[in-house]
Amino acid sequence: MVEELLAAGIAAGIGIVVYLAGAARVVKQYERGLVFRFGRLRAGVRSPGFTLVVPVVDRLRKVNMQIVTLPVPAQEGITRDNVTVRVDAVVYFRVIDPANAIIEVEDYRFAVSQMAQTSLRSIIGKSDLDDLLSNREKLNQGLELMIDSPAVGWGVQIDRVEIKDVSLPETMKRSMARQAEADRERRARVINADAELQASRKLAEAAGVMADQPAALQLRLLQTVVAVAAEKNSTLVLPFPVELLRFLERATESQPAPRTGAQPQGPGAHPQGPEQAVGPKAVPAAPAPAAGQAHAPVHTPEPHAPEQAVGPKAPLRCANADPGLPRATSDDATGLPQPPPGPVTEPDPAPAPAPAPAAGTPSQAA
């Protein structure tokens, strides 16, 4: 009898140990447990620690509540300004509702990964290249909102999304490099021009001080000579006195300016300035005719242009005229040549032409 009781106790103990071994479960601190009895979710979530389930009847499903780092594969797309780029990102999320994460979606990790890829391609097409390169914070926030909207129903919360790298074509990289180089060169030129402007202002102030104090200019000249002599060269520097230059400058300023135009010489010459315009130039008279010849009519010369200035009036002379014959003189009032005094004979009239022979009349022999 005792032996039977002892055997039954041992069997019961073994059964209890086996039951406990099949029913005991341990939930870790970062996990939550869901119990399914005959495939139906039981109310309540098993907290971390030791818990028991009914063997064969219940099934415990553990859900990780830690933040998951999910890399998004590189996606190739065309930006709004028609530039082909490859962009990859990383998503940080965690489960906030274990029941929805297990029931509402088959694999919440895969679902979040696919949603991140489609959202990344969509955000590439809506953005410019400059935004992808310089305004990533705004793009990260927009991408986070696009992924978080459907993930809330899955019991998943998106903590943050970061764009890791933006790959550009080689041609675009070279173009951007040239643009950056041109911008740096422009800024360098602006800085050099500003420095030249400031230096010119300081030099102008220094020149004013040296003009007021001549001794300062001499000291500066001596410093220049010392600086040149300090180098090992064979150049001989002879300083030129500044006072001598100033003396020559004052002498040049005090010298009167030369008059323009030559003054006529002689007792009867009238002074004539460059601005006085004289009447028309005197035209020499034609040679006087010989005795018994008729005088040719005198033609009045045309006056010259008013802007032509000539010298004082002079008596008209003919180089080929006979000294014994009277000479033509010019009138003092008009400056035109006058015929010599004496009787003027009229020229012989030209003979009249012979009348033409009438028609039918025989011509006379020569």
Q: Does any domain span residue 145?
A: yes
What is the spatial distance between Cα 340 and Cα 327, in angstroms, rounded to a whole number? 6
Q: Does any domain span residue 89?
A: yes
Is there a single domain that holds both residue 11 and residue 32? yes
Q: Does any domain span residue 29?
A: yes
Q: Does any domain span residue 303?
A: no
Cα-flanking dihedrals φ and ψ of residue 170, to 5°? -65, -40
Task: Find out whether 278 and 249 touch, Cβ atoms under 8 Å.
Answer: no
Task: Find out whether 33 and 61 touch, Cβ atoms under 8 Å.
Answer: yes
Count of structural domains within the chain: 3
Is there a single domain that holds both residue 39 and residue 88? no
40-41 and 84-95 strand pairing? unpaired
Task: Find out whether 155 and 95 touch, Cβ atoms under 8 Å.
Answer: yes
Domain of 126, CATH number, reads 3.30.479.30
Is there a single domain that holds both residue 80 and residue 164? yes
Q: Does any domain span residue 189?
A: yes
pTM of the model: 0.49
- Tens of pLDDT along the chain (366 residues) come to 778 888 888 888 888 888 787 788 888 999 999 999 888 888 888 888 888 888 888 888 899 999 999 999 998 888 888 888 999 999 999 999 999 999 988 899 999 999 999 999 999 988 888 888 888 888 899 899 999 888 888 999 999 999 988 888 888 888 888 988 999 999 999 999 999 999 999 988 888 887 787 777 778 777 877 777 776 667 666 666 666 777 777 788 777 655 555 454 544 444 444 444 444 444 444 444 444 444 444 444 444 444 444 444 444 444 444 444 445 444 444 445 555 555 545 555 555 554 544 444 444 433
Domain that holds residue 13: 2-62
Which residue, of 151, 168, 185, is where some domain finishes?
168
Task: Find out whether 125 and 79 touch, Cβ atoms under 8 Å.
Answer: yes
What is the spatial distance between Cα 166 and Cα 75, in angstroms, rounded to a whole number? 10
Q: Does any domain span residue 204?
A: yes
Is there a single domain that holds both residue 163 and residue 179? no
Q: Does any domain span residue 249?
A: no
Q: Does any domain span residue 334?
A: no
Count of CB atoms within 10 A of residue 163's CB?
19
Is there a single domain that holds both residue 101 and residue 193? no
